[in-house]
Amino acid sequence: MGEKIRGEDFPKDEVKPSEKEDSFEKKERGFFIKTGLSVRNALKMHKEAGLWSWDKELDRSWKNVSEHCLVETARAEVFADKLGFPEDLKKDLTVAAALHDFFKREEMKDLTASGMTWDAVAKTENRGHEFLSEKGFSDRVLKIVGSISFDPSKTKELLEKEVFSQEDLASLVMVYIDFYTQGSEWTKPSEIGEDGKRSNALDWRMDNAKIRYKDLSDASREYFNGESVFEVNRKTYHLVERIITEILNQKNNGNIIPEDLPYSIDQEIKAKIEAQP
């Protein structure tokens, strides 16, 4: 879904589109260039944190993290429009989406050295937050970025409110997007399994995370009465999904089922891409 970031201050390894590249891919490329430029200051943090330089130690590039963040930025913009956020809150939400994984390279370096423990994950999350605070990003952007955490306690606390402010909804949208976004791929429609239960991008992301971060999954069980953090997050963010879908359906006279919300958001992004000249 997301293309490599382009632009004056972006990586210089651009490859011109093939003449055989179809029109949608060309429009998609242009769309994400514009998306990147709209959050340019946030993406400068990616460059500063080393996402655009080659990691000699691991012999890999981290540019895929920037692509992932741009995908979440595009999704955040659609949610903001559909929820009727004012322009200043919409801007803060999209900036937060662009920033949310800017510290990924440093986080993974720390966790590789210390091990994927519950305390180590919390420590690396705090380091990234402190870095952004020093760079002068607003308290609201920091709050929205800070809503993303392996630990679901912040979200559970937010869900206890009887009434959600628009800023509360922005935080719920941000954490929800992050917990269903897998890399920079388009989401698929929900599916009904052999057990008769419907699953979607959120379920598939949690399944992958449980395998990828097995040590963290196992270590977290002592904090959640024997359940892994990914099992708890699956239930928590499906609840967030139902709440957001209900609000969107009421506001837009829609009939989306909660499990198809990620897919419906991507369909709107595709429509925006297709509508470009």
Tens of pLDDT, residue by residue over 254-265, are 999 999 999 999
Length, in residues, of the chain:
277
Q: What average pLDDT score do residues 42-47 get?
A: 95
Cβ-based burial of 142 (10 A; exposed 0-12, middle 13-18, buried ≥19)? middle
In the predicted structure, residue 56 carries a pLDDT above the cut 70:
yes
When pLDDT is cut at 50, 70 and 90, the band that residue 154 belongs to is confident
pLDDT above 70 coverage of the chain, percent: 92
Q: 204 vs 166, 185, 225, CA distance in Å?
A: 28, 12, 23
DSSP assigned state of 260: G
Q: What average pLDDT score do residues 80-97 get?
A: 98
- Asked whether the beta carbons of 35 and 7 are under 8 A apart, the reply is no
pTM: 0.90
Lowest mean pLDDT among 46-60, 78-92, 172-186: 46-60
pLDDT at residue 237, as a whole number: 97
User: Distance between CA 234 and CA 4 in Å, rounded?
Assistant: 30
When pLDDT is cut at 50, 70 and 90, the band that residue 216 belongs to is confident
**Higher pLDDT residue, 225 or 125?**
225
Average pLDDT score, the chain: 89
Joined tokens for residue 247: 């609000």
Joined tokens for residue 245: 């879908």
Q: At what angle do helices 166-180 and 63-82 cross, to 10 degrees?
A: 140
Q: What average pLDDT score do residues 95-102 get?
A: 96
Within 13 Å and on the Cβ side, how many CA atoms surround 136? 1
pLDDT at residue 99, as a whole number: 96
pLDDT at residue 129, as a whole number: 83
